[in-house]
Structure 1
Amino acid sequence: MSYTNILSERSNGITTITINRPSKLNALNSATIQELHSAFDEANKDAKTKVIFVTGSGEKAFVAGADISEFADFDVENGGKLAAKGQEILFDFVENLATPVIAIVNGFALGGGLELAMACHFRVASDNAKMGLPETSLGVIPGYGGTQRLSQLVGKGRAMEMVMTAGMIDANQALSYGLVNHVTTQEELLPLAEKIANKIMRNSSVAIQGAIKAINANFKDGVDGFKIEIEEFGNCFGTEDFTEGTTAFLQKRKADFPGK
């Protein structure tokens, strides 16, 4: 599929989706959000894609925020619709994908950019990365799940401070908060992500899909995460991957998972 604002390419089991609006510091507008939905959906349905990377073009920004010019004149109704649609087609969509999604945060990840990174299953960052939710400095709050996911990742007190001050934290502070999993140099950022992805790809994609569902269930209101875990655990016993994994273990060889 051809895109205007993003790039998508697959290599060695990894589909890399790059937000490609360098003149706007890769800011998210409605067209980019829609293209991202399509690219994530396509990659998730591609049997040859085992891991998805999302990053921003250039070295300055992952995503420097939302394109404010698109909604500066919105009223209450339109503002609510903007948040609801964005969460549905991109942020919640990414969080619940069956394929692992790693955010490669290179530079600024602000507002909607940090919200996109937080929607991914986990994050690696360059040592020059800066992260924050500056929305209150514009008279609004994060609307793409930022208030919810930030508090889940860093705790209520830190989330309150970050949102209320509208300030930025650096990569090492984000690491200490648990907002990112790893920090490295810009030069080593992609190799590190690839190293992690290769570890993931050694394992059962079917089991990983079940694990994503079970872990996410813990953060959903009205959902019993333990019950989902039991269901997904049981489902594994009916898969070819389970048969291959247990057989390989007993035969003391490396498993070759069929992904079924």
Structure 2
Amino acid sequence: MKYFNENDVKNIKSYNFDFIEFEESNYVFTLTLDRPKKKNALNPQMINEIAFAFQYVSTKDSIRALLLKSNGNIFCSGLDLKAINGEIEKNNSTVPKANSKILIGELFNKLYKPKICQLEGDVYAGGFLLIAGCNYVVSIDGLKLGLPETKRGIFPMQVMESLSKIISSRNVIDWCIRGYNLDVKTAYSWGLISKIVDQFKIESFVSNWLNEVVSNSPIAIQYGLEAFDKINSSESNHKYLLEMLELVLKSDDAIEGIAAFKEKRNPNWK
């Protein structure tokens, strides 16, 4: 994982992060998505900040696990559609730009440390790259999990790849094509959610999981996750699927679908 200069990464606390929060304590790095007013939609600089933090975690022996959380009632709504159209909001982030294109799925795959997601908000579209990239997902009940891309003239290309490592291919394709919302219990039965807990118990459950994980051999776990990535490599697929996503985003259907979404009307497919 070499998206950024190593010396820059070592000085992570000298930079201003506008879209995520983080803290490091008791061998655990907690990363919190912090763009709640925009439903934690992923814009280029937010992805940049996440990648910067991941590279930092990968280089620190004192960090043995990563906890992924979010602020707001939407965990992540996927890629920022305005950013896709070149509308990048002004921000105060001083995190350097990556030296190569960031593949979110591979960002998770190449971090050879246990990753747990504490899910307390709805997830849509590209947000599933974050969920599927974690080794364990603890969720409260009553959330909406949706893949609405085909309703916008888009297709969840890279999400499809990440989900196919967890869910049966038939269920993945059906979900991608039809674009419906999934409930948490069905996601649990499919293996996407590892554990469903009550809201007031989720903090203690996650804490216990992390305590158990960090007490085990960090070197053994690192080599094991690296080996798992090697025998299940998705890197070439993610690169190809990014190209396919960029292709579909240029289509007339995508232009119409995104416009209809912004204008709150039904799309008029040609």
* TM-score with structure 2 setting the length: 0.72
Shift, 1:15, TM fit: 0.9
Q: Quote the Cα distance in structure 2 between the aligned partners of 1:100 and 1:21.
A: 24
Give a deviation string over 1:186-216, Cα, whole Å, max 9, x none. 2222221121111111110000011112222
Q: Is the 8 A contact 1:106 1:128 kept in 2?
A: no
Give a deviation string over 1:29-77, Cα, whole Å, max 9, x none. 111000000111112222221110111113x121122110111379xxx
Q: Is the 8 A contact 1:5 1:21 kept in 2?
A: yes
Amino acid at match of 2:55: D
The gaps in structure 2 that reach 5 residues or longer are 1-12, 88-99, 236-270
Partner of residue 95, structure 1: 109
Aligned residues: 210
Q: Quote the Cα distance in structure 2 between the aligned partners of 1:187 and 1:85.
A: 39
1:108-257 map, 5 Å: 108-143=122-157, 145-220=158-233
Shift, 1:27, TM fit: 1.0
Amino acid at match of 2:141: D
Q: Quote the Cα distance in structure 2 between the aligned partners of 1:217 and 1:42.
A: 22
* Percent of aligned pairs with the same amino acid: 26
Q: Quote the Cα distance in structure 2 between the aligned partners of 1:73 and 1:48.
A: 39
1:28-67 map, 5 Å: 28-58=42-72, 60-67=73-80
What secondary structure, in the 3-state scheme, does the structure 1 residue paired with 2:142 have? coil
Q: Quote the Cα distance in structure 1 between the aligned partners of 2:75 and 2:56.
A: 21
Q: Quote the Cα distance in structure 2 between the aligned partners of 1:57 and 1:94.
A: 20
Q: Quote the Cα distance in structure 2 between the aligned partners of 1:16 and 1:67.
A: 23
RCO comparison, higher one (Cα < 8 Å, 6+): 2
Q: CA RMSD in A?
A: 2.1
Q: Quote the Cα distance in structure 2 between the aligned partners of 1:129 and 1:49.
A: 30
The gaps in structure 1 that reach 5 residues or longer are 75-83, 223-260
Amino acid at match of 1:211: G
Q: Is the 8 A contact 1:110 1:134 kept in 2?
A: yes
Q: Quote the Cα distance in structure 2 between the aligned partners of 1:72 and 1:221.
A: 27
What secondary structure, in the 3-state scheme, does the structure 1 residue paired with 2:165 have? helix
Amino acid at match of 1:14: V
* TM-score with structure 1 setting the length: 0.75
Partner of residue 101, structure 2: 85
What secondary structure, in the 3-state scheme, does the structure 2 residue paired with 1:48 have? coil
Amino acid at match of 2:101: K
Q: Is the 8 A contact 1:62 1:104 kept in 2?
A: no
